Amino acid sequence: MTNYGLVIPTYQPILDAGRTAPELVEVAVSAEELGLDSVWVGDTLARAPLDAFAMLAAFAARTSRVTLGTSALLPALRDPILSANQLLSLDLLSSGRLTVAVGAGFAGRSEPEFAFAGVPWARRRARLDDIVGLWRAAWRGESSFHGSVLHYDSLPSFPAPARPGGPPVWLAAYTPGALSRIGRLYDGWLPYPPDPADYVSGLARIRALASRPVTPALFATVLVEDDADRGRALLEEYCRRNYGMPADFVRGIQMQVTGSASEVAAQLRKYEGVEHFLLRVASTEPKVFDEQLPRLAEVVNLLRA
């Protein structure tokens, strides 16, 4: 069965536009009421976002069914022992509803974030793999961890997780190296390639090399708009506000689509093999975002039909 989730914006642009933190919690509640399967928040130090762990804790208290996730967490920005405890606490608070998608940062954008946290940019992918390995060791109750970057002769004792082994951890990446590591070290894959054929070939490579089950997901930026000109204009505005770049450039890097509900659904269907769609609304305006929620539900209903 395919699942469908909503990425809830927690970054500075939507807060500057008038959205409040409690209102974002209500968005998570609305997503559950609309029948979506999951809600997700991002993570960055670049635009002073609301803290991902704090938001997910608030979502956990107000929802009962949806999966709660990060899309994607930058684990290097936090102490790995403390983040192991925080994620375990979120998983227990939500009765086992947490999924943790992680990333190693985006070259050309993430270097200042690593500098803020005092973490070397070099070997960032090996560091990420080690942090995830450390989390799992702590959640399994192991007493030490030694990776290629991180070394701990002793680990604190944590409560047992809601699920054996702790919450699933997905990798948000598409590089050739990532495709070879996902099936060995991660429980899921969360890319956003603009070309569906790249998604299909990437998934085939993961499965050919995998030694464990992997959930194939897709991060998709969407705007449901029957007026094609308005849709293109809103997408252009979003890309310039969010990335400081034109939509044509951003579309060459990540999956973005605008059109009627049936047109958006048709584009998403081209990504064969996806088991969990993460849908991000292409707007930082609260009014537009709220108008999009029932339209997204319309797209999901078409995909489920």
CA atoms of 47 and 28, how far apart (whole Å): 21
Q: Is 10 exposed, middle or buried (0-12, 13-18, 19+ CB in 10 A)?
A: buried
- Return the pLDDT at 158: 95
- Return the pLDDT at 48: 66
Q: What is the SS3 assignment for 146?
A: strand
> Which H or E run includes 114?
helix 111-117
CA distances in angstroms from 88 to 54, 75, 104, 189, listed in the order given: 13, 14, 21, 21
Contact in structure between 214 and 178 (CB atoms under 8 Å): no
- Return the pLDDT at 52: 97
CA atoms of 285 and 265, how far apart (whole Å): 23
Tokens matching residue 39: 């809600």
- Return the pLDDT at 116: 93
CA atoms of 234 and 224, how far apart (whole Å): 10
- Return the pLDDT at 45: 87
CA atoms of 292 and 19, how far apart (whole Å): 15
Segment-wise mean pLDDT, segments of 10 residues, the chain, 305 residues: 97 93 98 98 86 98 98 97 98 98 93 95 97 98 97 97 96 95 97 97 97 97 96 93 90 95 98 98 95 97 97
The CATH number of domain 3-304 is 3.40.50.300? no
CA atoms of 185 and 156, how far apart (whole Å): 23
